[in-house]
Amino acid sequence: MNNHTLLGFWLKRFFIEYLISVKNLALNTQHSYRDTFRLLLPFIARHARKAIDQLTVEDISPERVRLFLLDLEQKRGSSVVTRNQRLAAIWSLAKFIGLYSPEHLHWYGQIRAIPIKKAPRVIIPYLEKIEMDALLKASEGPMAQQCRDHALLLFLYNTGTRADEAAQLTIANLDLAHAPRREHSLVIIKGKGNKLRRCPLWLQTVNELAPLIAERSSTEHVFLNRCGQPITRFGIHALVKRYAQKASTKYPSLKKKRVSPHTIRHTTATHLLRAGVDINTIRAWLGHVSIDTTNIYAEIDLDMKAKALALCEIKTNSVKRWRINASLMNYLKAL
């Protein structure tokens, strides 16, 4: 069998030549593509009744891809968003093969014709100011781990960073002013697609971070776990969940919300918007590529909607009743 017809030949080229060398995609994105094909290949092999290493490009037929997407939703319980992400990865592989193998152009067209599924619009969760303060207060304490936890939660709220961005943060990315009360401190955050953005730091955040990084190498990660190793994004998720449960004993409203690092990110954006920060500044603050992504925060804030509605309210001292003109009504009846 010609190697150019084998799926494995193209899949290896796709990852090495395209995703890494050409696109230079972030490691997390590469892992997302990898996970898609780790699920897809065994599924196709079962339906084609072949070994995975013997699969050809055309074994990934449009009908099997549709069945795979259906299986993701029905058996694995994947959301519509995840289903669409898996399809996008398959599209990308098909496009790469069609680009370098003209005999597969028709196959690529068939795969590309598989439509994405419209996802229901979900309400983005965020915390009210009193809830966020309760979350921060729950992590306060004299122990070294509590100091680290409080600094991490405050950093997430200050910067609106994603869990992975906070986990990957190194001391070299921090620019803490020598006189914090007179000078600005900032952090350089590496976001999706390895894009860099700068974010100012509050004085309280600087005061919390300074003891954590004292007398440590600039190449080390800022946030370490109890074993002295860089904390992972999973560790940050567990930390946020733990303190949310602790804070919910005093603020039961937290029990009704799914609190995660991304919830804190949404909270940062919503609170910035309420404080009067313009939407484009918030876009740069969060590292959004498109302003459309940031605009969702303008839609979810009920307080701002209520204030806008109050400004438009028509205030009158008395209600005037509509008087029917009898002669006009008689005229209309006669037409």
Q: Is position 265 annotated as part of the catalytic site? A: yes
The candidate with the shortest Cα–Cα distance to 11, out of 39, 32, 47, 41, is 41
Using DSSP's 3-state secondary structure scheme, residue 53 falls into helix
* Own/partner long-range contacts of 59-68 (Cβ < 8 Å, ≥24 apart): 59/7, 60/7, 60/90, 60/94, 60/111, 61/110, 62/110, 62/111, 62/113, 62/114, 65/90, 65/111, 65/114, 66/114, 67/43, 68/39, 68/40, 68/43, 68/44
CA 151/CA 166 separation, integer angstroms:
11
Catalytic choice (83, 148, 150, 162): 162
Residue from 86, 190, 221, 262 carrying the catalytic annotation: 262
Apex 167 CA angle, 166 and 168, nearest 5 = 90
Residue 13: active-site member: no
User: Residue 283's CB: how many other CB atoms inside 10 A?
Assistant: 19
Give the list of residues 6+ apart from residue 92 with CB closer than 8 angstroms, or none.
14, 18, 33
* Total Cβ atoms within 10 A of residue 221: 18
Distance set, CA 238 to CA 178, 194, 332 (Å)? 33, 25, 73
Does residue 46 carry a catalytic annotation?
A: no
262 is catalytic: yes
Gap between the Cα atoms of 108 and 106, Å rounded: 5
Beta carbons within 8 Å of 158's beta carbon, 6+ residues apart: 199, 201, 202, 205, 268
Q: Which of 47, 137, 192, 241 is catalytic?
A: 192
Token pair 């995660």 is found at 260
CB 15 within 8 A of CB 30: yes
178 noted as active-site residue? no
Closest CA to 124 of 297, 307, 284: 297
64 among known catalytic residues: no
- Spot the catalytic one: 86, 221, 265, 266: 265
Cα separation, 312 vs 332, in Å, equals 36
* Catalytic sites, residue numbers: 162, 192, 262, 265, 288, 297
